[in-house]
Amino acid sequence: MNKRKFLRYSFLSTVTALTAPSVTAMAKRHAKKGKKPVVISTWNHGGPANEAAWPILADGGRALDAVEAGARVPEADPQVTSVGYGGFPDRDGVVTLDACIMDEKQNCGSVAFLQGIKHPISVARKVMEETPHVMLVGEGAQRFAVEQGFEIENLLTPRAEAAWREWKQESYYQPVINIENHDTIGILALDQDGHLSGACTTSGAAFKMHGRVGDSPIIGAGLYVDNEVGAATATGMGELMIKTVGCHQVVELMRHGYTPEEACREAIERIARKLGDYKQFQVGFLALDKAGNYGAHCIHPGFHYAVRDVLGAQRISSKSKLE
C-alpha cells in the first residue's frame, strides 16, 4: 500500500467517534436508511464548515440551510485567504467575491464581482429566493445586498493587504492559484429527506485582473446539483472548469453510472485531454450522489476534503492525476 493510500485508509479508519446517545440512535437509523444525512466540503476549512452544517442536517433540516451555514464559516474567517473577509484582493488591491448556491428543486442564485459584503453566499441565496434572476454582478449585486439588509464592510484585512503589496513589488501580473493552499469552499449536502443542495464561495484567484470572474459563481462550472442524481463542486483554477463546464459534466457522468470518484476523475481527464496547459494549475472536483456516496479527484497531489456524517468527521486525501 503506498503512502497516500495508507494515509487515506488511516483517515477512514480514524473516524472521530461521537458518543452522545442521540447519535447512536441516529446511527441505527442511518444504517437502515442509507448514508443520509451527509455533508462534504473542500479543503481544511471544510471541517469547521461541516460542523456548522451538521446540526441542521442532524435535526432533519434542509440541505440548503446546511450548505449556506457551512459556507458562511470561512466567509467570516479572516485567516482564510481565498474566501470572503480576509480574501486576497485582485491586482488593484480590491477584494471581489464570487458565490453561488443551488437547491433540490433546480433553483439557483449567484453573485459575482461583489465587493464589500462579507457573506456573498447569503446574497446568492437572496438572489435565488427574492428575484426572478439567477445572477447579479458587481455594483448591482451590492445594491441588491444592501436593499436586503446586508452591510457594506471593508473586507481587506491587514494580512491580505500586506500580501498584495509584497506581490506588487514583483509586478508579476499573473493570477495566482497556489497548488498547496487553496481555500475556496465548495460544500455539498444530502439531508434526511434525501434532498441535495450545494454552495460555493470564493475571493477567486489571488491578484487576478480587476473584473475577473472565476468558476465559483457559474452554475455548471463551479457547482451543479441535480436532485435526481447528485451534486458536484470544484476548486482550483476556475478558467479550466468554465472551459469544460466541469461540475455539470461530473453530475451527468454520475447519471450514466459513474461513481462520484470516477466521475471526478473523468472530468479531470477531459481537462487534461482538451487543455494543453492544465499541468500549470490545480483543479479538484468533489462529488456526492443521491445515495450518499462521495468522492473526488484532482490534477496535482494535495487536494483533500472533509466529510461529516453520523459516524463523525473525516478528512480524506483525493487521488490525483499527476501523483
Judged by the rule CB under 6 A, the positions of this chain that interact with ligand SD4 are 82, 177, 182-184, 202, 204-205, 214-216, 235-238
Please, what sign has the CA dihedral across residues 209, 213, 216, 221? negative
| Catalytic residue selected from 184, 201, 202, 244 | 184
* Element spanning 123, H or E: helix 120-130
Instruction: Give whichever of 182 and 304 is closer to ligand SD4, judged by the CB atom.
Output: 182
Exposed, middle or buried: residue 83 (CB in 10 Å: 0-12, 13-18, 19+)?
A: buried
CB 240 within 8 A of CB 267: no
Considering only CA atoms, which of 260, 253, 240 is closest in space to residue 307?
Answer: 260
Question: What is the spatial distance between Cα 188 and Cα 219, in angstroms, rounded to a whole number?
Answer: 14
What cell was used for 20?
A: 452522545
Instruction: Give whichever of 26 and 101 is closer to ligand SD4, judged by the CB atom.
Output: 101
Q: How far is the CB of 307 from ligand SD4 (least distance, A)?
A: 19
Considering only CA atoms, which of 107, 273, 302, 290 is closest in space to residue 199?
Answer: 107
Residues 6+ apart with CB under 8 A from 163: 81, 88, 206
Q: How far is the CB of 144 from ligand SD4 (least distance, A)?
A: 21
Instruction: Give whichever of 61 and 74 is closer to ligand SD4, judged by the CB atom.
Output: 74
Q: How far is the CB of 184 from ligand SD4 (least distance, A)?
A: 3
Amino acid, res. 202: T
**184 among known catalytic residues:** yes
Instruction: Give whichever of 89 and 238 is closer to ligand SD4, judged by the CB atom.
Output: 238
What cell was used for 196?
A: 441535495
Instruction: Give whichever of 44 and 184 is closer to ligand SD4, judged by the CB atom.
Output: 184
Residues acting as catalytic residues:
184
